[in-house]
Structure 1
Amino acid sequence: MPRHSETKYRLVTTFQRRLNALVRRLPGHTLLETTGRTSGLPRRTPVGGRRVGDAFWLVSEFGERSQYVRNIKADPHVRIRLHGHWHTGTAHLLPDDDPLTRLRTLPRMNSLAVRTVGAGLLTVRVDLAD
């Protein structure tokens, strides 16, 4: 990874750790809950995306470097909190999907942030069971 991308990754993830600790507490924000690949504990990450039918779509700004993507690779069973209600589902990483095209179908402000700070974008689809 080029040095600029690595610096960007470190700055953004440091900022996000602090911000996410606050955002996770907001009742209306969308959360993705994965199972920690090492600890086995629930890990909740604020995400931006959109439900389309029985699927929830999002784009990971750092692709396979994102901790929640690593957790999904270890165990794809997840939960999504949408509008205050939890939904179970199975996450699928879609490296063949065009994440920039996908971002055009997702909420604008989140998509702008992902395009601005991201490197190595990766589409994720969660098939909702309920």
Structure 2
Amino acid sequence: MSRYHEIKFRAVTTFQRRIGNPILGRLPSQTLLETTGRKSGLPRRTPVGGRRIGDVFWLVSEYGDKSHYVRNIQAHPHIRLRLKGRWHNGIATPLPQDDPRARLRTLPTVNSATVRAVGTNLLTVRIDLD
């Protein structure tokens, strides 16, 4: 990762961790991804954007496997997802072979624009819901 991308990554993730995620996580309409911490084993909740299509929820991670929630998924793929105030169980799978930029064109516009603007290592994640 270049020096520029490293600085951008640190600035964005610090903002998300300290300001964005705590605020967004409290909004009842916000989609939340609950993973199991790969080291702690504790539930970890992260606000995410994406779209449900049938029994599959699609999202694109801005930082690929540098994102803690992606690392947690790699260790424990069983997740919970809060959609429109209702919790769903599912199995999440990172898809490095998928084209994340093409996938973003199928997802909500505002979130996709943000992911494209701040992301440095885009990665598609597919969640098969029960």
Is the structural similarity TM-score above 0.5? yes
Which TM-score bucket, shorter chain as reference?
A: over 0.9
| 1:76-97 Cα deviation digits (max 9, x unpaired) | 0001100000000000110000
Q: Residue type of the partner of 2:119?
A: G
Identify the residue that residue 62 of structure 2 maps to in structure 1.
61
For structure 1, the 5+ residue unaligned runs are none
Aligned pairs (5 A) from 1:1-130:
1-18=1-18, 19-129=20-130
Give 1:2's aligned amino acid.
S
Separation in structure 1 between the aligned mates of residue 48 and residue 26 of structure 2, nearest angstrom:
13
Code of the residue aligned with 2:9 in structure 1: it is Y
Letter in 1 for 2:97: D
TM-fit CA distance, 1:22: 1.3
- Letter of the structure 2 residue corresponding to residue 20 of structure 1: N
Segments of 4+ moved more than 2 angstroms: none
Query: Which amino acid in structure 1 is aligned with residue 50 of structure 2?
Result: G
Q: Which amino acid aligns with 1:9?
A: F
Mapped partners of 1:38, 1:21: distance in 2: 21
What TM-score do the two structures reach when normalised by structure 2? 0.98
Deviation of 1:114 after TM superposition, in Å, equals: 0.1
Task: Provide the rounded CA distance (Å) in 2 between the counterparts of 1:8 and 1:31.
Answer: 24
Count of residue pairs brought into register by the alignment: 129
SS of the aligned residue for 1:26 comes to: coil
Kindly state the Cα deviation for residue 20 of structure 1 after the two structures are TM-superposed.
0.1
TM-score, normalization by structure 1: 0.98
Q: Secondary structure at the match of 2:120?
A: coil
Unpaired segments of 5 or more residues in structure 2? none
**Cα displacement string for residues 49-84 of structure 1 (whole angstroms, at most 9, x for unaligned residues):** 000011000000000000000000000000110000
